[in-house]
Amino acid sequence: MANSKSISPIDEITSCFFHNLGEQIQSGDRLVIALSGGVDSVVLLHLLTKFSQSQSVQIDVSAIHVEHGISAHSSQWSAFCQTLCNRAAIPLTIHRLKISKQPQESLEAVAREARYKIFRQIQADYILLAHHLDDQVETLMLQLLRGAGVKGLSAMPIVRLFEPGKTLKLLRPLLNIPRSEILKYAQLHNLSWVTDESNQDISYDRNFLRHQIFPALEQRYPAYRKTLSRSTRHLGEAAYLLDELAKTDIENTMLAGKLSLQGLRKLDFVRAKNLLRYLLAQQMVRLPSSAKLEEILRQLRNIQNDNQFRFVIDVLEIRCHRGLIEFLASDSSSESISPVIWHGEQYLTLGPLKGVLEFTRHNNAGIDLAKLDQSIVTIRSRSGGERFQPDCKRPQRSLKKILQEAAIPPWERRTLPLLFCEDQLVWVAGIGINCNFQTPEGSTGLVVTWHPNQIDQPSAH
């Protein structure tokens, strides 16, 4: 019988870390480690340094430390992290904050949101977090006590996209390792770390579980960490299947990026709720409670005048217009702008309207430049009462009526820029040009293009 050499827990940590990291990163990737100074993140830094020195892949490694300002020792922890990174020749960025919470708010949740706000500013491929197996189990238990659904109970994945439409990912390469093994690793390698005194405060739910509940649980069920972690994987698979069902329903209910109210009503209540939850999760908002989600769905299934429907969730606004449901940023109601004079520039950024106007010259198209010559050209918001005549075969009419006929939702009408020549309305975004200002055949005209939800100049084609 061949001799088999057992792998020590320390070697297992290194092997697990190298495997989880090696599966994700590619040569040239930029990695930022979230360094608190605690034992978990110190071990993470040590392993990352070892990985970068032993692998053939070239990676850019740096660290970030968030000083929340909660503890009296915050500045000492920042100094410790700076010394640690100096020794490892790793650049460190320190962000100093002053965290405060409102009544009924969780200090832990407020601090996490403050960190994530900083993470959103990071230019990198991955942010490495030091969460481990005990954190995973604690998260599962907290979610159970909050009555979370399948997705909440599936806890933390090793890697996930940080925000939709971005490439930045959160990576937790120690997620399969128990805290006790991380501590052994740190002691074996004579690592130093700081200790947050608040970790002993059992008024925090997570600390109460860690110090009061789990020690008793371990006496009766020594393998509870791996067992409960296995449950999170099963729940993750169930959540995945629910997402796949939602994607199937999207194919039958979405029209041009908007959700069909009629299609939503055809689904039974539970399936419709799953679809709505999935669409909200894709927007990366803080999901509402099950009761609030059900209330939104009930209102959507029973609304009569859909133009009046408005529901705010976190930083998102749900609106409905002509049977189509839209998910908008809650700050999408732009401000009016004071008249802006156009001096002939190619691009004009309209901050309050959250967009950019582009002016280009084309033959046989656009606004008659001759009629704009020697006149003051201004860009304004709607103020009400404007009249417009895009078709000379039809009489001049109320701009409000024209926008309604064009099926432009009321909340979008407020964001449309209008171009005036002196006091004459010449051009309306999304509608067109006043018939008396259209470029005659054989002439060069000014084509105006509106780029909404954009603050930078459009890229050249």
* 110-159 pLDDT, tens digit each: 888 889 889 999 999 999 999 999 999 999 999 999 888 898 898 789 99
Mean pLDDT of 449-456: 79
Please, are residues 55 and 25 in contact by the beta-carbon 8 Å criterion?
Answer: no
Gap between the Cα atoms of 152 and 287, Å rounded? 10
- Phi/psi of residue 127, each to 5°? -110, 125
Residue 408 β-bridge partners: none
- Phi/psi of residue 446, each to 5°? -100, 115
> Tokens 């050499």 — which residue?
5
What is the torsional sign of CA 434, 437, 443, 448? negative
Gap between the Cα atoms of 310 and 312, Å rounded? 7
Mean pLDDT of 195-216: 92
459 pLDDT band, cuts 50/70/90, is low
276 pLDDT band, cuts 50/70/90, is very high
Tens digit of each residue's pLDDT (9 = 90 or more) over 70-119: 888 889 999 999 999 999 999 999 999 887 766 767 777 788 888 988 99
Tell me the CA distances in angstroms from 318 to 296, 308, 325, 327, 457, one per residue in order.
9, 11, 7, 5, 29
- Phi/psi of residue 453, each to 5°? 55, 40
Which runs of E-coded beta strand occur in 177-279?
A: 254-255, 258-260
Q: Packing angle between helix 269-282 and helix 224-253, nearest 10 degrees?
A: 100
Tens digit of each residue's pLDDT (9 = 90 or more) over 344-400: 999 999 888 888 999 999 999 999 998 998 789 999 988 888 999 998 888 899 999
Q: Is 173 helix (H, G, I), strand (E, B) or coil?
A: coil
Q: What angle do CA 286, 287, 291 make, to 5 degrees?
A: 140
237 pLDDT band, cuts 50/70/90, is very high
Residue type, 382: R
Cβ neighbours for 291, distance < 8 A, ≥ 6 positions apart: none
Pairing of strands 60-67, 30-34: parallel
Among 455, 388, 454, CA closest to 419: 388
Entry field: residues in the chain: 461
In the chain, the largest separation of any two C-alpha atoms, in whole Å, equals 98
Pairing of strands 355-363, 444-452: antiparallel
Please, are residues 297 and 272 in contact by the beta-carbon 8 Å criterion?
Answer: yes
Gap between the Cα atoms of 32 and 146, Å rounded? 32
How many angstroms from the chain centroid is the CA of residue 406? 32
| 432 Ramachandran zone, left/alpha/beta (phi>0; psi -120 to 50) | left
> Tokens 């929340």 — which residue?
68
> Tokens 């649980």 — which residue?
217
Pairing of strands 367-368, 444-452: antiparallel
Mean pLDDT of 279-296: 86
For the beta sheet containing 30-34, the strands, ordered from the edge strand earlier in sequence to the opposite edge, are 92-96, 60-67, 30-34, 126-128, 169-171, 159-161
Asked whether residue 4 carries a pLDDT value surpassing 50, the answer given is: no
Please indicate whether residue 287 or residue 356 has the higher confidence score (pLDDT).
356
Query: H or E element: which one contains 66?
Result: strand 60-67
Gap between the Cα atoms of 88 and 65, Å rounded? 15
Q: What does the radius of gyration of the chain's CA atoms come to, in whole angstroms?
A: 29
Tell me the CA distances in angstroms from 323 to 178, 211, 293, 405, one per residue in order.
51, 53, 19, 15
Instruction: Among 58-72, 182-196, 305-319, 356-370, name the one with the lowest average pLDDT.
Output: 305-319
Tell me the CA distances in angstroms from 162 to 20, 65, 126, 165, 168, one per residue in order.
18, 18, 9, 9, 6
CA atoms within 13 A on the CB side of 143: 19
3-state SS of 96-129?
ECCCCCCCCCCHHHHHHHHHHHHHCCCCCCEEEC
- 390: its two tokens: 């895009």
- 94: its two tokens: 């320190």
What is the 8-class DSSP label of residue 258? E
| 384 Ramachandran zone, left/alpha/beta (phi>0; psi -120 to 50) | left
Query: H or E element: which one contains 362?
Result: strand 355-363
294 pLDDT band, cuts 50/70/90, is very high
